[in-house]
Amino acid sequence: MLFTVPKVGIIQQTTQLFLKNFLFLGDNWTKITTFALEMEAGALHAGPGGLNLTDFCNGTNMINRELIRLKVVQQVYVYYMNCDRKLDTAEKDLFASLSKSYDLYLYMFGLMLELNRIAERSYATALSRHQRLKEGDAPSTRFIDNKFIAQLESNEQLRDFIDNQKKTWANEEDYVRRLFQRITESDIYAEWMSRTEPTTYDDDRNLWRQLYQKVIAEDEELDTILEEESLYWNDDRFIVDTFVLKTIKRFEPMAGAHHPLLPEYRDDDDREFARRLLRATVLGCDTYRQLIQQSLRNWDLERLAFMDLLVMQTALAEIVTFPQIPVSVSINEYVEIAKMYSTPKSGGYVNGMLDSICRRMIDEGRLRKEMTSAAQ
């Protein structure tokens, strides 16, 4: 017996969600509660408690295969929740979601530039007041005279992105001013402004890296702002923030306006990987679920947590479709995804099931890959 997708009403009763209450499906805004993180019980394992963010950032491109796997699992779930199942639409939505992740990466650099503009206006206002009243010390330019932010302001790739956006952070001036106020109230800002010695480029760059990590990335109001801009963005924050910090650390003054930001994709192979993985997961559904059913001991497939089933289905699609990817790599990646999206015990369960299925397929000559030891 193959697993029957639960009705949306059941999903709505779960206590934790990965996506928000609305997802763009095809040409219609369809209200569905998506990505149930607890089908029976358990808690969300995101960020440091889930996938290793260091692994996400080892590459030189923003959209890497780890992120692609996450997005494919998300889209497969939405595909089965949508009554009008169209694979072409699912593929279109997958690439839209990946593209939005990259837009957020660039958008967060734009926020830093807007914060600096607010700082410059604040300085100009304070200077005008000082010149008019002749009271106290003149305001300091230490914060706005920042060599890293000046280089970021001139970055050609970022300027091209900002110039082609209909909405920019200038449209959120009230929020940016509140965020700047929180920056000025931080210990990082206080320590910086109390310095008397000249600063180096490295000092200036490290200041913004600290502010991003400790103030911007931790700002709760930012979640609301981003949700209004894109339905995808809040779910990508913990990944994108890490890539932004990585990029800041890599900035070098000699590159000037030409310093490269992370590209969207490494090459066309990653786009093709995303497309093929999604299609293989959906089109091979019966085959992969039959493999899973065969490894269940006196248990019906429908008793599995739905997210466990989808994660294993996607994992098997990758293992079968991409001969160049070692089995252990695929299993380990999807074990981590299961830890994030399903029940607390799902990681170990998915690990054991996939390991058993793959070994059986190899023994039967249905999979031409090697497994020297059990996946960890």
Q: How many CB atoms lie within 10 A of CB 6?
A: 16
Q: Does pTM top 0.85 for this prediction?
A: no
- The stretch 87-112 carries a mean pLDDT of 95
Which of 82, 68, 98 has the alpha carbon at shortest distance from 277? 68
- 260 band by pLDDT with thresholds 50, 70 and 90: very high
Domain at 8-95+269-363: CATH architecture: Orthogonal Bundle (1.10)
User: Is 374:355 a contact under the CB 8 Å cutoff?
Assistant: yes
pLDDT tens track for 146-180: 999 999 999 999 999 999 988 889 999 999 999 99
Which comes out higher in pLDDT, residue 287 or 372? 287
pLDDT of 374 reads: 52
Positive or negative: CA dihedral 64, 66, 70, 72 = positive
CATH 1.10.940.10 residue spans of the chain: 8-95+269-363
pLDDT at residue 265 is higher than 80: yes
pLDDT of 279 reads: 98
Q: How many CA atoms lie within 13 A of 233 on its CB side?
A: 18
- 2 band by pLDDT with thresholds 50, 70 and 90: very low
pLDDT tens track for 220-229: 999 999 988 8
User: Is 111:215 a contact under the CB 8 Å cutoff?
Assistant: no
pLDDT at residue 55 is higher than 80: no
Amino acid (1-letter code) at residue 155: N
- 239 band by pLDDT with thresholds 50, 70 and 90: confident
